[in-house]
Structure 1
């Protein structure tokens, strides 16, 4: 019985939230929340403000909700509900229409309230913001990606091979897997860099220095638990240094995101402290030639590159715009 009551409550709440995504006003959601400090009351207005700044009009929103897990604590009269929220926006962009989609994962804590229910806490998965101790140790151990002799040998080999970067294959891969996980690779709790690495490798970006985790950029398929990979394949700040610091690919940092192409990479430093903890891959552009990106952790489809409506974004956020070469 509690399951049915909770499902009805959760569905009603997310219908109300869908309307808030459309209007930009979450005030009517207060009736579902005990705490008005929930991040959703910041994110919805931020998203609406971002659309206005882009001269975009939100024409339609739709939300699908799946209850992933449910637990009822009889003693505490507390329900813990894991929910996956898939939201899609349809925008009017001048004479054109654009769509965007994201998948949020929430853990709701819900208690009885005046004959109904009320959310007392909502924990939402967000883009990686802080490094774990292990990640810090990894990054502190990294050199510049290899000796000069190793770098020159790699470049010599690739001048012969002439790997062309297939940007359309990057886009196709990013569009196919943005909302799910390729079973051929390990799934990470913070999956943004793993996803970006898969995308650019799908475009025939060659792996480098396979076998040494602290050098190069590579993933080794060993069969499930026996898979192995470099730190730069899965750690955001390590990929940033691989792209910008080791000379293998000649990735170029540009100042204006409008200089980027499909298949290029944007790195995010939310706190402006020099540690980059999120990466995205470019899959399209709006009518003003501003990048739209796909990403994981919070699975995002054709999201505006700035991320100003992200829970992780701060006024100190810094970006790096990496233009990958057309030939390796």
Structure 2
């Protein structure tokens, strides 16, 4: 039998614990996944507004820059914003809107901090500044591996690892020349009549670009992104499934794909050496941008960096000024201007005519 003073102390302690529990319950909230998704969407949408308007302060507000990863994420996003501005000046365009659709594949955490994996389909709308009223748009799929936390009664991003082609493209300042912009803006564009195997190749490229909200990779084929990249595999699929090119002993998908099927360097040289393709031009942006207008839907653009072809994309159409657009995997693009995201110093472009 407990003595009364001891019982009184225990009761008092239990009352204190109860009051603390009630107080915490009043000041804390257990958030549901759909509520966290709304928070993440708002943060990402505010980032789009900042990108569109070049608003560095608004962009900074989305991050906790007092943490190391939060600071790194902000600096990476700031590079993207600067690139958007510089590329638009080079091109002679203005962006009119950036809008995104989101697919959340992971949401986990506590009531104050959450980790999220998000596929964001970002659509960029633009028009040329010379009075052209035609609206243009392109889409890029960006995967965010992010962490958001409640700090000072506000949700902020404390980590965001994402792959975006516009965050690491340096050297574009060299391409901002009046003669380049004038050529792009005054080019006399003739509508290209798309038909036959080229038409089928483009149809396949659009269906499986994975840069639209309702399309994805073709699950008949392995996704090579985790082991170096899926760009050549995708281009080979376009040529075979859409364009009707038959596999052979060098170029095939048997047992997971030959080097000529899955490697950008090997695919480019296979096309050139086999007679299935021929070279239109090779060189830096300033030396080849005019030759780009010779590219036809279904042709290939390869991107060389430090002596190695590291990426390939497929021409799928043109914008209102006849500027060629591409589809590709990693980073997944749908009808994106052919050089966007590839303006780093030292890049060489290979334009390959495919003989359908």
TM, length-normalised to structure 1: 0.75
The runs of 5 or more residues in structure 1 that have no matched partner are: 128-163, 210-215, 221-226
Could you say if the C-alpha distance between residues 118 and 290 of structure 1 is closer, same or farther in structure 2, counting changes exceeding 3 Å?
A: same
- Displacement of 1:280 after TM fit? 0.6
Shift of 1:108: 0.4
Deviations 1:49-78 (A, max 9, x none): 22232222322322112221022279xx75
8 Å CA contact retained: 2:279, 2:350:
no
**Superposition deviation, residue 165 in structure 1:** 7.3
1:184-224, CA deviations, whole angstroms, 9 ceiling, x for partnerless residues?
22222222111111112211223231xxxxxx21123xxxx
Alpha-carbon distance between aligned partners in 2 of 1:8 and 1:20, rounded to the nearest angstrom: 18
> 1:112 and 2:160 equivalent?
no
SS in 2 for 1:276: strand
Answer yes or no: is 1:208 the counterpart of 2:235: no
1:191 matched to which residue of 2? 230
Q: Who wins on radius of gyration, i.e. which is larger?
A: 2
RMSD (Å), alpha carbons: 2.4
- For 2:54 and 2:320, the matched residues in 1 are separated by 23
CA distance 1:32–1:59, change in 2 (3 Å)? closer
Instruction: Give the 3-state SS of the residue equivalent to 2:203 in structure 1.
Output: helix
Q: What's the counterpart of residue 176 of structure 1?
A: 207
Paired position in structure 2 for 1:251: 278
User: C-alpha offsets along residues 76-102 of structure 1, whole Å, 9 cap, x if unaligned?
Assistant: x75321111111122224232212111
How far did residue 20 of structure 1 move? 2.5
CA displacement at 1:36 relative to structure 2? 4.2
> Separation in 2 of the partners of 1:194 and 1:20?
35
The yes-or-no answer on 1:291 pairing with 2:324 is yes
- Kindly provide the CA deviation profile for residues 153-210 of structure 1, in whole angstroms up to 9, marking residues without a partner as x: xxxxxxxxxxx9711111111111112111222222222111111112211223231x
5+ unaligned residues in a row in structure 2: which ranges? 1-29, 166-194, 211-215, 282-287
Q: What are the residue-to-residue correspondences of 1:69-218 with 2, within 5 Å? A: 69-72=106-109, 78-93=113-128, 94-126=132-164, 166-179=197-210, 180-189=216-225, 190-201=229-240, 202-209=242-249, 216-218=250-252
Taking the TM superposition and a 5 Å limit, the aligned residue runs for 1:225-304 are: 227-244=255-272, 246-254=273-281, 255=288, 256-269=291-304, 272-304=305-337
CA shift for structure 1 position 28: 0.4
Stretches of 4+ moved more than 6 A in 1?
Answer: none
Q: Provide, for residues 210-247 of structure 1, a one-character-per-residue CA deviation record: whole Å limited to 9, x for no partner.
A: xxxxxx21123xxxxxx531122112222122233x33
- Counterpart CA distance in 2 for 1:83 and 1:253 is 39
SS at match of 1:187: coil
SS in 1 for 2:309: coil
Q: Does 1:305 align with 2:305?
A: no
* Structure (1 or 2) with the greater helix fraction: 2
Q: Matches of 1:113 and 1:289 in 2, distance apart?
A: 48
> 1 CA distance for matches of 2:150 and 2:277?
59
Please give the secondary structure, in 2, of the residue aligned with 1:96.
coil
Contact 1:165–1:205 (CA<8 Å) still a contact in 2? no
Aligned residue in 1 for 2:170: none
Q: CA deviation at 1:317?
A: 1.8
Distance change >3 Å, CA 55–CA 313, structure 1 → 2: closer
